[in-house]
């Protein structure tokens, strides 16, 4: 029903099927590693995620055709990438950020775009901030004197004039103490304006509402502070309320401070129509472990390490204020898996009754959820009654062939090697 060349070799990392207003669509997420033609620094390769939708109207008996095609690029292979069940968005867990790039653009255009990025016009002004104040620096024409400049401070407006020319005028992002705000002309022909914040500690995302002529300068201390703030906000809870009055992470901030996040990954949600990032959650030390489909009507879940435990999170794209639900916990799994240096694949049963991992060769470890004990058992050291026991088991495959695939169902584990498919019965069928 559909047959079309899609270019370089790829793997499919996720796909969904959906029916909307008599139209059947299949959305596929394909991954490629591509050579970087223009940028010679770094590894020389980038990761491309292509989101292709093919559709067919039910009435006309025509073939399926490509109705949407978008490409994201990043610098690391994502841990997790999935399309939302309604086909409206995408979620990615990765070490490096991903961005949509334009498709159907030939190399020439590509180069032009690159050039224009490099020969950027200098911003009209630079600004920086601390907890209490803002400093705005404006470059002035040579030999400007005090009399040429007029700055008007109002509680929440600013107006900067140079002779008869208006440099900047508008509503400030937040209120200032207009009576304590000052300006001076520096020797290097720059105008420096100090604004005192009314709301101490409030971080301003922009200086003048809607004005794009300035550039925010962040110093490294501030970057670190932002990073810390993000960590704090995301380590306890997985940003359950991203849209509330305190948007914990702003995609822009993350990009600016990229360097601080090298060791940790982020969870990003992209909107399919605007192609913009709508949510960014820094996962900090919550290492990604594996993903699993629990409910085929929902997106795959992802399992993260939270201290010694491992927690399973179910994304709900449609629930704006409850986008990530914690649905299961594997006690101590975060801890025990860390010692398995040779682990290759990780999985869990869709009903969470066990988690399992395998090494490159032979060994499969099964971690069962605690079950109530039928006999009475005492912890010898502490003398207390043990009500539940979590069993761990090791299966050793009778082969030395490398393990190539690993899938868990509620009853069985499927282990694929180069020559065999092994079935390990974990739970007995009812």
Ligand X SMILES: *[C@@H]1O[C@H](CO)[C@@H](O)[C@H](O)[C@H]1NC(C)=O
Which of 44/387 has CB closer to ligand X? 387
What H or E segment, with its residue span, contains residue 208?
none
Q: Residues in contact with ligand X, total (CB under 6 A)?
A: 6
Q: Nearest distance from residue 25's CB to ligand X, in Å? A: 33
Which of 285/351 has CB closer to ligand X? 351
CB 86 within 8 Å of CB 318:
yes
Cα 340 from Cα 365, distance rounded (Å): 10
Q: Nearest distance from residue 333's CB to ligand X, in Å? A: 15
Those residues whose C-beta lies under 8 Å from the C-beta of residue 85, and which sit 6 or more positions away, are: 16, 18, 297, 298, 299, 317
Cα 133 from Cα 43, distance rounded (Å): 41
Which of 220/410 has CB closer to ligand X? 410
Q: Nearest distance from residue 328's CB to ligand X, in Å? A: 9
Interface of this chain with ligand X, residues 62 to 81, rule: CB under 6 A: none
At 5, list the tokens.
């060349």
Which of 253/298 has CB closer to ligand X? 298
Q: Nearest distance from residue 351's CB to ligand X, in Å? A: 4
Rule CB under 6 A: say whether 133 interacts with ligand X.
Answer: no
Interface of this chain with ligand X, residues 349 to 408, rule: CB under 6 A: 349, 351, 353
* Rg of the Cα atoms in the chain: 28
How many degrees, rounded to 5, is the angle at CA 429 between CA 423 and CA 430? Answer: 175
Interface of this chain with ligand X, residues 185 to 244, rule: CB under 6 A: none
CB 157 within 8 Å of CB 170:
yes
Which of 166/351 has CB closer to ligand X? 351
How many degrees, rounded to 5, is the angle at CA 357 between CA 353 and CA 359? Answer: 160
Longest dimension (CA), the chain: 91
Binding mask 290-329 for ligand X (x = CB under 6 A): ----------------------------------------
Q: Nearest distance from residue 393's CB to ligand X, in Å? A: 15
At 53, list the tokens.
């939708």
Q: Nearest distance from residue 203's CB to ligand X, in Å? A: 45
Which of 67/351 has CB closer to ligand X? 351
Residue with nearest beta carbon to ligand X: 410
| Bridge partners (DSSP) listed for residue 66 | 54
Which of 54/349 has CB closer to ligand X? 349
The binder of ligand X chosen from 228, 410, 423, 425 (CB under 6 A): 410
SS3 209: coil
Q: In what order do the strands lie in the sheet with 165-171?
A: 149-154, 157-162, 165-171
Which of 182/410 has CB closer to ligand X? 410
Q: Nearest distance from residue 426's CB to ligand X, in Å? A: 8
Cα 327 from Cα 351, distance rounded (Å): 10
Stretch that binds ligand X, among 270-278, 288-296, 337-345, 346-354 (CB under 6 A): 346-354
Stretch that binds ligand X, among 28-36, 206-214, 292-300, 348-356 (CB under 6 A): 348-356
CB 277 within 8 Å of CB 226:
no
Cα 153 from Cα 181, distance rounded (Å): 7
Cα 113 from Cα 120, distance rounded (Å): 11
| Bridge partners (DSSP) listed for residue 290 | 303
CA quadruple 247, 249, 252, 257: dihedral, nearest 10: 150
Which of 190/353 has CB closer to ligand X? 353
What H or E segment, with its residue span, contains residue 267?
strand 266-271
Stretch that binds ligand X, among 24-32, 111-119, 326-334, 347-355 (CB under 6 A): 347-355
SS3 393: strand
The binder of ligand X chosen from 34, 177, 211, 411 (CB under 6 A): 411
Q: Nearest distance from residue 293's CB to ligand X, in Å? A: 15
Which of 18/332 has CB closer to ligand X? 332
Which of 83/349 has CB closer to ligand X? 349
SS3 64: coil
Q: Nearest distance from residue 288's CB to ligand X, in Å? A: 24
Q: Nearest distance from residue 396's CB to ligand X, in Å? A: 23
Q: Nearest distance from residue 410's CB to ligand X, in Å? A: 3
Residues that bind ligand X (CB under 6 A): 349, 351, 353, 410-411, 427
């Amino acid at each position: 029903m559909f047959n079309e060349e899609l270019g370089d070799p790829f793997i499919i990392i996720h796909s969904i099927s959906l029916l909307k207003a008599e139209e059947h669509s299949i959305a596929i997420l394909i991954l490629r590693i591509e050579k970087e033609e223009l940028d010679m620094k770094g590894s020389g390769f980038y990761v491309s995620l292509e989101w292709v939708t093919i559709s067919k109207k039910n009435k006309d008996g025509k073939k399926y055709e490509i109705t949407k095609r978008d490409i994201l690029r990043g610098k690391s292979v994502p841990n997790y990438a999935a399309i939302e069940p309604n086909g409206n968005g995408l979620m990615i867990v990765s070490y490096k950020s991903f961005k949509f790039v334009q498709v159907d653009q030939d190399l020439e255009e590509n180069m032009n775009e690159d050039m224009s990025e490099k020969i950027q016009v200098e911003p009209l002004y630079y600004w920086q901030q601390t907890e209490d104040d803002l400093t705005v620096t404006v470059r002035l024409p040579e030999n400007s004197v005090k009399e040429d400049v007029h700055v008007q401070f109002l509680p929440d407006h600013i107006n900067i004039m140079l002779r008869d020319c208006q440099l900047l005028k508008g509503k400030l992002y937040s209120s200032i103490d207009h009576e304590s705000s000052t300006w001076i002309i520096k020797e290097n022909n720059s105008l420096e304006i100090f604004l005192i914040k009314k709301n101490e500690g409030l971080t301003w995302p922009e200086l003048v509402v809607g004005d794009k002529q300035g550039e925010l300068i962040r110093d490294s201390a501030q970057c670190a502070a932002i990073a810390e703030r993000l960590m704090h906000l995301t380590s306890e809870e997985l940003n359950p309320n991203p849209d509330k009055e305190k948007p914990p992470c702003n995609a822009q901030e993350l990009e600016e401070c990229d360097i601080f996040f090298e060791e940790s990954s982020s969870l990003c949600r992209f909107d399919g129509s605007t192609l913009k990032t709508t949510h960014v959650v820094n996962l900090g030390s919550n290492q990604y472990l594996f993903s699993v489909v629990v409910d085929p009507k929902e997106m795959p879940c992802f399992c993260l390490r939270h201290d010694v435990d491992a927690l399973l999170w179910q994304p709900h794209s449609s629930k704006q204020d409850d986008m990530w639900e914690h649905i299961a916990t594997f006690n101590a799994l975060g801890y025990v898996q860390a010692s398995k240096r040779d682990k290759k694949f990780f999985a869990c049963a869709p009903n969470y009754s066990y988690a399992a991992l395998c090494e490159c060769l032979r060994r499969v470890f099964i971690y069962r959820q605690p079950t109530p004990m039928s006999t009475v058992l005492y912890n010898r050291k502490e003398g207390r009654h043990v009500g539940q026991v979590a069993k761990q088991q090791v299966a050793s495959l009778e082969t030395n062939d490398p393990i190539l695939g690993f899938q868990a169902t509620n009853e069985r584990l499927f282990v694929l090697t180069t020559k065999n498919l092994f079935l390990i019965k974990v739970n007995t069928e009812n």
